Chains A and B, each alone.
Chain A
Amino acid sequence: MPQISQFAESWYAASQIFWVLLTFGFVFFVIGRGMLPKIEATVDARDRKVADDLAAAKSAHAAADTLEESYRQQSDASRAAAQKAVTDAKDKAAKDAEKRLAKIDAELADKLSAAEADIAAARTSAMAEIESVAAEAASDLVAKLSGVKVGAMDAQAAVKAVLHG
């Protein structure tokens, strides 16, 4: 086994140790101490950036949620306000209509009663006219049929008795 047999040669161990010291020293100081921390820093920076971006995205998401919530509340509130305004307007319109109707009703009732009163007056006057006309007609009929002159008062009383039962 050369690993053991060469150990006896004086140059072997010295050369091996010298060169491993030199090359491993290069690897340790240039690569391990020089390059590795920079690569690790890059990885750390990336990890931090990813974590930061994720946190920013999360907070933006939360902000969007609250914004949406407030928007929803606002729209609810404005919808409720609009509904209230509509019902108020409806109520007011209904009340106005009622008031106007009541007024018109009253006017109509007034007109009706006035008309009724007119009609009643007209009827009484018509009745009175009918009585006098009937009395005249009756006295004329009696005079033509029997030739008896009936007094206006008598004729009128007789007609009244027939008309009013």
Chain B
Amino acid sequence: MADQGKVDPMHQFEVQKMFDMFHVGGHEVAFTTSAMWMIVAGLLLWIFMIGGMKRQLVPGRWQVAVEGFTGFISSMMNANIGPEGRKYTPYVFSLFMFILMLNLIGLAPLGLFGVHPFTVTSHFTITGFLAILSFAIVLIVGFWRHGLHFFSLFVPHGTPWWLLWLIPVIELVSFMVRPFSLALRLFVAMTAGHVLMKVFASFIIDGLAASPAIGLGVGIPSMALMVGISGLELLVAGIQAYVFALLTSLYLNDAINLH
């Protein structure tokens, strides 16, 4: 907290050190709130998936839910890449579920129980890591499958010969921007949504601090807006996870099918 009685909308993004662990190459590695919530997300995901492992012919509700998620990603991979995309479904599925779980945990109303949730995906170190991982896989798969022919990605079909000096440059730039756009989109969407909610919350607190009349006049519409924005943020949590997975699958399609 910046000052007593004031809400700092950025404070929620601070990673708190919980305890030190060890040093790697001069850098200290600590157990942090971010680490804790990532572990929670991984465990929740694991528990969720265990419910889908009954492998019944006629599935129960939980199994249907799990199979709904796997089927969603499988069909997306099949639609965007084709049968060869099946090999990469585990990676894209892990990415989608991990990001979705982290986004949703960040929105969970755990403050009611005295626990402050932390949105791991609001940090570009995390989104950047995942984006670079996706980009690296695209590069490795592309060069491994097509060798130097992979560079023909920068010359789209039907490029007129007199534009050959320009189009590859544009394509190269758009290709190199991919990991940044991938990382920034998720980080910005998560950060902006949470800042917005904190700002509206601070309106209520500041209004009440000024006078009860102002507090009611400002607080009630702010609260109504916050309810709506919370719903919107849930949508954004799903959409951003989906967009990350979708773009990864589209980039993988470039690397696998090359045009």
What residues of chain A have their CB less than 8 Å away from a CB belonging to chain B? 1-3, 6-7, 10-21, 23-24, 26-28, 30-33, 35-40, 42-43, 45-46, 49
Contact = CB atoms under 8 A, between A and B. Distances in A.
Contact of B32 (A19, A31, A43, A46): A19
Main SS of the interface on chain B?
helix
Contacts of A6: 14-15
B202 interface: no
A149 B228 CA distance: 164
26 contacts: A1-B10, A2-B13, A3-B123, A3-B191, A6-B15, A11-B29, A13-B27, A14-B24, A14-B28, A15-B15, A15-B31, A18-B24, A20-B38, A23-B38, A23-B41, A24-B130, A27-B45, A31-B94, A32-B90, A37-B90, A38-B53, A39-B66, A39-B67, A40-B89, A43-B67, A43-B71
Given A14-B29, A30-B46, A36 B70 contact: yes
Contacts of B34: 15-16, 19
Interface of B: 10-11, 13-15, 17, 20, 24, 26-32, 34-35, 38-39, 41-42, 45-46, 49-50, 52-53, 55-57, 66-67, 70-71, 74, 89-91, 93-94, 97-98, 120, 122-126, 129-130, 133, 187, 191
Nearest to A50: B57
Contacts of A43: 67, 70-71, 74
A36 B66 CA distance: 10
Nearest to B55: A42
A27 B97 CA distance: 9
A30 B49 CA distance: 10
Given A15-B30, A15-B34, A39-B66, A7 B125 contact: yes
A31 B49 CA distance: 7
A45 B58 CA distance: 11
Nearest to B67: A43
A6 B15 CA distance: 8
A17 B97 contact: no
Nearest to B133: A24
A19 B35 contact: yes
A40 B139 CA distance: 27
A19 B57 CA distance: 37
Contact of A13 (B45, B56, B122, B125): B125
